[in-house]
Amino acid sequence: MNTMKAVRIHTYGDLDVLKYEESPCPEEGDNEALIRVSAVGVNPYDWKVRAGYLAGWVDYSFPLILGWDVSGVVAAVGRGVKNLAVGDAVFARADYTRNGAYAEYVAVEASLVEPKPVTLDFIHAAAVPHAALAAWQSLFKYAGLSAGQTVLIHGAAGGVGHFAVQFAKLHGAHVIGTSSEHNLDFLRQLGVDQAIDYTATRFDEVVHDVDVVLDTIGGEVLQRSWKVLKPGGMLVSLVEMPPAETAAAHGMSQSLATADADEGVLAGIAALIDSGKVRPVVSTVLPLTEVRQAHTLSASQHTRGKIVLQVTE
């Protein structure tokens, strides 16, 4: 097993730089697991890396395999790995500074790998790690959301948003979510207390005195969000750094959140899924060879739930 099929980029650029081709198969290190990839989740991070938007943040080398949300079966383990065995069904948010999982195999540090939720197939398991971790960390690590507080979630029907709604409701928060009109019923099914069609209503005209804003959109949406927060409120963004000087001027706090792979968090999310308290939603499943379509859909920012690429049956 010297080579495998993978989607690689040899330079930053548009969709045309995504190449489905032969690639050297990775080898697991002493503390790593080699995963035979069943499916890989598509995140905005993927196409932003491809386009070169993050070139100054992570020093990638080429050719590069994108995609860091993976589900699959352990094919081999390093000699230092004790928590995994060949044949285990697993999922993980792989190290985004290394080659990813748009491929038949990926090597992942064993500490990042967890047993796949038993109630999920591989497609839905691949939809979980990055988006769920981003939602969890944003709400609880960065914003400190607690029971009884009110949170406004922008893009609440999206990959991160639909997890954030469910986590916030589980923790006893009052949840307001924005989406386009065709996703309003979906938001209500997730448990949103107030669903706002952003194409028909300006959220900052109907929302006031919230404790936390979770921004997944950026730009003008982020700028208008300051006025809906109560004094001492918190604006957390996953797409751009909210200006500290603006937060200070409003008597508020701000942060740029990341999807940190804190030990135990992904396992806890898996337990919530298996208990039926949280469910991942997958809107589109495509074969790995149609990765360009997946990037186009993700970049549109109008996807319900997650997009997943199927790699192996």
Q: What pTM was computed for the model?
A: 0.95
**Under 8 Å between Cβ of 130 and 45:** yes
Q: Tell me which residue of 157, 212, 200, 202 sits closest to 179, measured CA to CA.
A: 157
d(CA 178, CA 299): 18
Rounded to 5°, angle at Cα 100 from 96 and 106: 125
Full set of structural domains in the chain with CATH = 3-128+280-310 (3.90.180.10), 131-256 (3.40.50.720)
Res 260: pLDDT: 74
d(CA 2, CA 39): 21
DSSP-based three-state secondary structure for 155: coil
Residue spans of beta strands (DSSP E) within the chain: 3-9, 19-24, 32-42, 64-65, 69-77, 89-93, 105-109, 113-115, 150-153, 174-179, 194-197, 210-215, 229-237, 253-256, 282-287, 306-310
CB within 8 Å of 287: residues ≥ 6 apart? 309, 310
Q: Tell me which residue of 227, 217, 220, 216 sits closest to 252, measured CA to CA.
A: 227
d(CA 9, CA 126): 21
Q: What parts of the chain have a pLDDT lower than 70? A: 1
The crossing angle, in degrees rounded to 10, of helices 129-136 and 265-274 is 110
d(CA 181, CA 171): 26
What dihedral angle (degrees, nearest 10) is formed by the CA atoms of 127, 133, 134, 137?
Answer: 160
CB within 8 Å of 121: residues ≥ 6 apart? none
pLDDT, one tens digit per residue, over 203-226 is: 999 999 999 999 999 999 999 999
Sign of CA dihedral 217, 97, 125, 110: negative
pLDDT, one tens digit per residue, over 111-129 is: 999 999 999 999 999 999 9
CB within 8 Å of 264: residues ≥ 6 apart? none
Res 57: pLDDT: 85
Res 303: pLDDT: 86
